[in-house]
Structure 1
């Protein structure tokens, strides 16, 4: 294939040129286009997660829980029914895992990760359905600012490593630089993109917290990949790895944003 003959950087650029317009169009037009795109990415991430943790590309439990989570948006399934059905699927999955004589700890990790990924995607779709598209864009800008600030500050200043055993390239300088830039961007564009946090202090606090969460999401996935001895979660995005590799920060930020909305902050 032609893509395989390109350098890693060329593959990353080509993938970005193809993927970004699709993502921007889906966000701009909203439902059902955004729902279809995020639903597809959810299934792809469940596949990558299952392969990494259980060495199974198509584990029925992961897909069942993910579909059940999304059903909360499109059907009249109550949270009580979701918990009941979810426990039933988890119990059956646990029995099957024991029958296959595989490590039960891996099953628990898979289960926790599946619920976490599904909940995070659920929050993204929920934000769009609630008319919070601009708030979602604000979150994306915070994540991108955090990554950009960390990259350039870390390269320019260097210094002590943040977590050398997990991610050798990350530095404390990059970590602080990412938080500072994300906080600044969150305050500057906040008045134009969201109406939930009105004062500069509240916008700055939330932006800084989400930047911290973004860094944590990246480190969390790096730790899991090292534990399971994989370089990338997949090869779906040439030059970038798997979808989980690209959305690790967004997933945890989405998870945190959902909690902030629930507690009313």
Structure 2
């Protein structure tokens, strides 16, 4: 089921990213809406619909501002929306900090991936991001199940192993190097791509562990049941949400140093 889901979702995500414009906006807006629903169900079971709407509206406001080229405004909106969501949640009698954190936790990656796609060679950098995340996540799962061994962080994620962790790092390096060789990424060489892939793969698995810790905190097994074999959308993109920070940071460095 995991493989079948990936074979459907991956081409759709790449196609919308390649098309850009309105198609990419629809992809991101749809993802934001679904994640907001999952966040409400997971973090505020006493008032899931209202918290989902509050978080979703905040995310969509930041998304449309970023898509219009107003990244600074989007960041300001995100902060004020987090405060507004917290006040609204407090009035509903549910966790104010959880609502505010949901806006910030989900909003940052959405802003960054839209900004990344809009830069020069943006399609290539987003594809590199996808390739590294999917490769590291998949190989970590496969290697961990085959080799097993000591647990990585048994308190929050009892199924993850050190063997899977190192398998994921290796996969991320390979995916980064191949992406830099195949795609138009400006000054990014295969060696540079391998190092970026290594850092992004590490962030991917950190994001996965962080999501596991959040689910333990809220007492749920999965963030949702949207994707067969994966759980919810948050379960599928938890690593990508951390990895996009690394790739966007590398892109900022390249722009700042005049390398594209």
TM-score normalised by L of structure 1: 0.83
- Distance of aligned partners of 1:21 and 1:207 in 2 relative to their CA distance in 1, 3 Å threshold: closer
Q: In the alignment, which of 175, 191, 194 is matched to residue 204 of structure 1? A: 194
Q: In the alignment, which of 100, 103, 115 is matched to residue 126 of structure 1? A: 115
Compute the RMSD of aligned alpha carbons.
Answer: 2.5
Higher-Rg structure is: 1
| 2:146 is the alignment partner of 1:156 | yes
Show the counterpart of 1:72.
65
| 2:169 is the alignment partner of 1:179 | yes
Cα distance in 2 for residues equivalent to 1:14 and 1:144: 14
Per-residue deviation, 1:95: 3.3
Q: Deviations over 1:28-65 (max 9, x none)?
A: 32221121122111111011112211221342431232
* Aligned residue runs from structure 1 range 84-123, under 5 A: 85-86=77-78, 88-102=80-94, 106-123=95-112
| 2:177 is the alignment partner of 1:193 | no
Show the counterpart of 2:136.
146
Between 31-40 and 235-244, report the one with greater CA deviation: 235-244
Bigger relative contact order (CA 8 A; separation at least 6): 1
| 2:212 is the alignment partner of 1:222 | yes
TM-score normalised by L of structure 2: 0.84
- Distance of aligned partners of 1:113 and 1:171 in 2 relative to their CA distance in 1, 3 Å threshold: same
For the residue of structure 1 that corresponds to 2:223, the secondary structure is coil
Cα distance in 1 for residues equivalent to 2:70 and 2:188: 34
Cα distance in 2 for residues equivalent to 1:207 and 1:13: 22
Per-residue deviation, 1:237: 2.0
Per-residue deviation, 1:86: 4.7
Cα distance in 1 for residues equivalent to 2:127 and 2:7: 19
**Alpha-carbon contact 1:116-1:255 (below 8 Å) kept:** no
Q: Deviations over 1:125-157 (max 9, x none)?
A: 222233411121112111122123212322332
Cα distance in 2 for residues equivalent to 1:113 and 1:185: 30
Cα distance in 1 for residues equivalent to 2:179 and 2:69: 37
For structure 1, the residue ranges without an aligned partner over 5 or more in a row are 1-8
For structure 2, the residue ranges without an aligned partner over 5 or more in a row are none
| 2:160 is the alignment partner of 1:170 | yes
Per-residue deviation, 1:72: 2.1
